[in-house]
Amino acid sequence: MDKTLNVAVIVGSLRKDSINRKVANALAEVAPATLKLSVVDIGHLPVYNPDEDENPPAAWTEFRERVKAADAVLFVTPEHNRSVPAALKNAIDIGSRPYGKSAWSGKPGAVVSASPGAVGGFGANHHLRQSLVFLNVPAMAQPEVYLSGADKLFDAQGKLTNEGTRKFLESFMQAYASWVTANSKT
């Protein structure tokens, strides 16, 4: 039997009724049994300031430890101004410091972006991939996930109702499970 691998899911949206959190929940539902997805919240993280590296806030330490404990990372994000939301960039910076002790390094990853718009967060998805190269996160190239019209994919309780999207996300998670298994250090 395959070992269950722990995946830290980082949701870029802080909204209470976040489309991207709904997508993250849907991904957890369709994930193969070899993956255990857990959202690591980022909304409470103080803004990164290198002056605090020697005595970091407890929230930074907890966040870094949760990411380090994971076997892989999965980013689920909206797009803000053709990039990632500020809270997600802050979390990336916190996890990458102090220099030489990045919590991200070597963890296989993937990016999913979702938006009510027609482009599905394409800009954020690719901008985040640029950061992942520097962070030494081997990011899965295919299949890519840009969910457009994502506000129409869920019911009032936040459950995915579009069967075509469900099947696509299932195939994405199968590919991601293979990617994580092939690239995990554990």
How many domains, the chain? 1
Q: What is the pLDDT of residue 70?
A: 98
pLDDT above 70 as % of the chain: 98
Residue 102 lies in a domain: yes
Average pLDDT on 54-63 reads: 97
Residue 185's pLDDT is 81
Q: Is 73 within 8 Å of 109 (Cβ atoms)?
A: yes
Collapsed DSSP state (helix, strand, coil) of residue 24: helix
Asked if the model's pLDDT at residue 163 lies above 80, the reply is yes
Q: pLDDT of 78-107, one tens digit each?
A: 999 999 999 999 999 999 999 999 999 999
Mean pLDDT of all residues in the chain?
96
Q: Is the dihedral of CA 153, 173, 71, 90 positive or negative?
A: negative
Alpha helices, DSSP H only, in 10-81? 19-30, 58-69
CB atoms within 10 A of CB 39: 16
Provide the 10 A C-beta neighbour count for residue 65: 11
* Dihedral (CA of 64, 85, 14, 26) sign: negative
Q: What is the layout of strands, in order, in the sheet containing 5-11? A: 35-39, 5-11, 72-77, 109-114, 145-147
Neighbours of 18 (CB within 10 A): 18
Q: Is residue 110 part of a domain?
A: yes
- What pLDDT score does 1 carry? 42
Cα–Cα distance measured from residue 173 to residue 14, given in angstroms and rounded to the nearest whole number: 23
- Structural domain contains residue 186: no
Give the pLDDT score at 47: 98
Over range 51-62, report the average pLDDT: 96
Mean pLDDT of 9-16: 96
pTM of the complete model: 0.96
Distance of alpha carbon 179 from alpha carbon 88, whole angstroms: 23
What was the pLDDT predicted at 2?
Answer: 66
128 in any annotated domain: yes
Domain-located, residue 144: yes
CATH code where residue 164 lies: 3.40.50.360
Q: Tell whether the model's pLDDT for residue 22 goes beyond 50.
A: yes
- Give per-residue pLDDT as tens, 132-146: 999 999 999 999 999
Task: Phi first, then psi: give them for residue 36, nearest 5 degrees.
Answer: -115, 110
**Residue-range definition of the domain harbouring residue 173:** 5-181
Question: Is pLDDT above 90 for 52?
Answer: yes
Label residue 174 by pLDDT band (50, 70, 90). Answer: very high
Nearest of 45, 40, 41 to residue 57 by alpha carbon: 45
